[in-house]
Structure formats: structure tokens, C-alpha cells
Amino acid sequence: MSELSHLDDQGRARMVDVSTKSDTHRVAVAAGELATTAEVIALVRADDMPKADVLATARIAGIGAAKRTWELIPLCHQLALSTVKVTFGFTDTTITIEAVAKTTGPTGVEMEALTAVAVAGLTLHDMVKAVDPAAVLNGVRLVSKEGGKRGRWFRDDAPEQSDTSVTEPAAARSAVVVVSSTGVAAGTRDDKTGPTIEKWLTERGFTVRGPLIYADAQIASGLADALTGGPALLITTGGTGASPTDATPEATLAVLDRELPGVADSIRRRGLDVTPHAVLSRGVAGLAGSTVVVNLPGSPGGVKDGLAALDPILDHLLAQVSGGGAHE
């Protein structure tokens, strides 16, 4: 077992000396969730809580806490953070919290990302306690990190496989879900597709970030955030139609290195079995580095059809991208 870095050879607490380490780009992603009631979720999304601006307050609290992590955690170094982003999503009874922290320096930003999630979650609790004093902050955890001599690390929450199965690296089962919807981002519409994709991925052994929700006009920055840490799979939903505000395909093409047109065509063909409107979807698919990116429509039926098209090919596709998989 590895030794604890914050203990000296006599077992006493110490601050790690990083003066000999080289500066590298460091990124950490952390997550958590506040479990509450459906009533609270509805009030927060409608911005109708007794304490107003719930999400904005929690976001600022999380960012501020990340900047002061060195004051809160005794043995942490003071870092010059280049950015901290805190985003929220919703299920029927939870508010999900995601934090991304970045710096260039000799030590990582894991604690800053975790502190941002923890304090944002506690702030959410403070904001909703008048309606639900029993709300619970759960699952504050590191999702991924990169930089330094150890490179990239991804959390592996996938079920253990039998000895006869093909073992994939931890990163091969990491996924991010992004929802492109101005209405959902504003709280005027319910997210009926993001949780469906998250559940589908979780059932297949993926560690999932999100759903991360962005207005149509912000989808480009949403994709950039989602690709942080190089997940194996990024699935978007929404913004693929012919509306003037639909911009997901254009934003996706801007980050792709190679297209996978057959995947996008297969999703459209599957939808055409149900409705002729499926032909209007402009969704694309491809590779952004080693990340497989797939656009799905924004309707529950379109997501169902799209996931059905992905199901028989996804494992083989991920194996090929990671350098394995049969090519016969």
C-alpha cells in the first residue's frame, strides 16, 4: 500500500514540499448532490424559494470556497487558480453539483474542486432548509484529475467483471451527459432526456458526470467543459433541429477531429421507424481526441431511439477507439 503523502517518516503531519516539482496544467472535476423533495426542486427551478437566487448563491459560494481551500484544509498549498466552474443539474428529487478547477502549477487541484462542491452543496442546504430541513448532501467525490507525473486519473465505479471478461481501463467507462435547452437552463421546462441517458449509461457500468445543462447559446462552452479530463463518451441531447437557436451540431463539429457519419445516420434511421420528423435532426457523431461524441435529439422518443441505435455498437466502438476491438 502506498504511503500517505502528508505524514513524515515519524508519522507526523506535514505539508508536502513541492518546490522541486515542475509546473504542469492541472485539472480536477468533482461532483455531489443534494437529496431533497420534489417540492423543493420545483421551487428552485422556478426561482420561488424564500431565499431567492438559490443556484446563483450556491455557485458563488462554491467558487469562493475553492479559492480559499488553503485556509480551510490545513495542509493544502495556496494555488493560483486559473478557473473554477460550478454547474448544477436536476433529477426529480436531487440537485446535482459539478465543479471543475484548473491551475498551472506544481500540485493538483483536487481539494479545490471537492471544496467547491461541498460548500456549494452546504449553501444549497442553507437555502432550502426552510422548506426541507431533512435535505441531505451526498456523494461528494473526485470524478477525474489530470496533470503532473501521474497524468490522467478517472474514477471507476463500474461493477466488477468476471475473470473471463475483457477488462477495460477505468477511463473506458467514463461518460458525460450534456443537455442543450434554454428552457431547462432557465427552469421553465423539465429535463426529460438527460436523466434517461444518465440511467442508461449507469446501467451499462459507466461513471457519469451530469446531466450538465446549458442554454442553446452556451452549448459550445458546455461541450468544452464536458470534454475536460477526456471522458470516453460524451452524449448530448437537444439543439439538433432546424430552429434558429439550435446550435449543437455546429458546436460539436468545431471540437471533432474525425466524424462518424454512420453512427449519426443510424440514429436518424432508427427514429424514422417511428416518425418522419426524425429526418430533421442534424445531429452528428465523431471523435474529439479519444472521446466519442454523439448528438441525440431533445425529445424523449428521440433519445430512446438513439440509445437503441447505440446499444449494439457502443462497446465495440469504445474498444476500437482505445486501441482494441476486432476489425474483421
Active site residue ranges: 126
Cell of 268: 436518424
Distance of alpha carbon 144 from alpha carbon 174, whole angstroms? 9
Instruction: Determine contact, residues 226/178, Cβ cutoff 8 Å.
Output: yes
CA angle 262, 264, 268 (to 5 degrees): 110
The helix or strand, by DSSP H or E, that contains position 176, with its residue range, turns out to be strand 174-180
CA angle 226, 231, 236 (to 5 degrees): 50
Which residues have CB under 8 Å from 147's CB, separation 6+?
24, 25, 26, 27, 108
Instruction: Determine contact, residues 113/99, Cβ cutoff 8 Å.
Output: yes
Alpha carbons within 13 angstroms on the beta-carbon side of residue 191 total 35
